């Protein structure tokens, strides 16, 4: 399919935060030499616009604060519902990103047996600094996330393979992309609360299950990821109580272990109860309080309609 390249209208939105500023334009971030050093410092760029974005992190969740970098000005339609938004300097990687996107999307859609399609926009950052601007925090070049929705599209953010060595590894890149696409499918099917510390409070799909499903699918796309996870599980002796992994996994002390446990538990549940039952419960979450605590032990999970306000599992 031909790539129809059009100006991204959301560009205006991303520039708003910089208006009135006397700082150097954020477009300087597009320079390839503007890479994050090992120590977290920057080369030859003005960090003020970034610092202002970083300050927002103190008061807003990622799903509220993320914003497209003004350097991402172009858009390529991959399918009626799938688009890649990018900077002009990244046009040469579009064919390979497009192919990987379609494969990852197709795998996840098949996994959930979904008949409908999701509208997904990839926001491909030309540099790590652009990605940091979008998420309001420091990150590495392999960081990828599915922070929420904008203008009806589900958004995924990452750094262009031209500026990220990690994203040039096709096996890893396609698996992590499938992971992020899974977040959007889980969110669409279950209508779960966006990433925040409110999942438990709202008796909503626990993050250990959502991150677990993302990693189960990631491990299907990447055998090397699956092997690494098995090795790590074999080496780990102490685990969290699942109740500690309900909200954003960064809330537990050892985030890496939290993710590993999410994978381990969810893989076991999918093997024991079958993915059809897990998917059924995700749909049930829309109008019901589902007792997700019962899932690991019994496989059968009680649920009650959400209009019964005083019921707690
Ligand atoms: Zn995830």
- Averaged over successive runs of 10 residues, the pLDDT of the chain (313 residues) comes to 33 31 37 39 61 86 92 96 97 97 97 96 97 95 95 97 96 97 96 79 87 98 96 95 86 92 95 92 87 75 66 56
Q: How far is the CA of 46 from the centre of ligand 1 (A)?
A: 31
Q: How far is the CA of 146 from the centre of ligand 1 (A)?
A: 8
pLDDT at 193: 82
Q: How far is the CA of 48 from the centre of ligand 1 (A)?
A: 29
Instruction: Look at residue 278 and give its three-state secondary structure.
Output: helix
* Closest of 152, 225, 213, 208 to residue 181, by C-alpha: 213
Residue owning tokens 């006397």: 22
pLDDT at 93: 97
pLDDT at 91: 97
Kindly report the backbone phi and psi dihedral angles of residue 160, in degrees, each rounded to the nearest multiple of 5, phi listed first: -55, 140
pLDDT at 231: 97
In the chain, domain spans? 5-190, 207-305
Q: How far is the CA of 263 from the centre of ligand 1 (A)?
A: 11
Residue 163's Cβ-count burial label (10 Å; 0-12, 13-18, 19+) is buried
Q: How far is the CA of 89 from the centre of ligand 1 (A)?
A: 28
Torsion of CA 123, 194, 12, 28, to 10 degrees: -50
Count of CA atoms in the C-beta half-sphere (13 A) of 74: 15
pLDDT at 309: 57
Q: How far is the CA of 70 from the centre of ligand 1 (A)?
A: 25
Q: How far is the CA of 267 from the centre of ligand 1 (A)?
A: 15
């Amino acid at each position: 399919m031909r790539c129809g390249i059009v100006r991204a209208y959301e560009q205006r939105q991303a520039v708003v935060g910089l208006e009135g500023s006397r700082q150097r334009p954020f477009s300087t971030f597009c320079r390839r030499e503007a890479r994050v050093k090992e120590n977290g410092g920057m080369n030859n760029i003005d960090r003020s616009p970034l610092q202002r974005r970083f300050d927002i992190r103190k008061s807003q969740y990622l799903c509220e604060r993320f914003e497209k970098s003004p350097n991402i000005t172009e858009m390529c339609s991959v399918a009626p519902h799938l688009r890649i938004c990018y900077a002009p300097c990244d046009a040469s990687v579009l064919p390979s990103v497009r192919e990987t996107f379609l494969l990852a999307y197709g795998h996840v859609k098949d996994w959930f047996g979904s008949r409908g399609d999701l509208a997904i926009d990839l926001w491909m950052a030309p540099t790590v600094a652009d990605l940091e601007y979008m998420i309001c925090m420091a990150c590495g070049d392999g960081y990828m996330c599915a922070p929420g929705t904008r203008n009806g599209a589900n958004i995924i953010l990452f750094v262009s393979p031209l500026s990220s060595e990690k994203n040039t590894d096709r096996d890893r890149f396609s698996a992590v992309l499938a992971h992020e696409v899974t977040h959007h499918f889980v969110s669409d099917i279950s209508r779960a609360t966006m990433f925040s510390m409110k999942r438990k409070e709202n008796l909503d799909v626990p993050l250990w299950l959502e991150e677990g499903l993302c990693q189960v699918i990631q491990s299907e796309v990447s055998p090397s990821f699956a092997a690494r996870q098995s090795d790590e599980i074999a080496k780990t002796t102490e685990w969290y109580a699942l109740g500690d992994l309900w909200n954003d996994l960064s809330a537990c002390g050892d985030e890496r272990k939290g993710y590993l446990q999410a994978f381990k538990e969810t893989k076991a549940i999918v093997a024991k109860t079958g993915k059809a039952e897990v998917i059924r419960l995700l749909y049930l979450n829309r109008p019901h309080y589902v007792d997700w605590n019962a899932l690991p032990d019994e496989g059968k999970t009680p649920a009650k309609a959400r209009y019964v306000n005083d019921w707690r599992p």
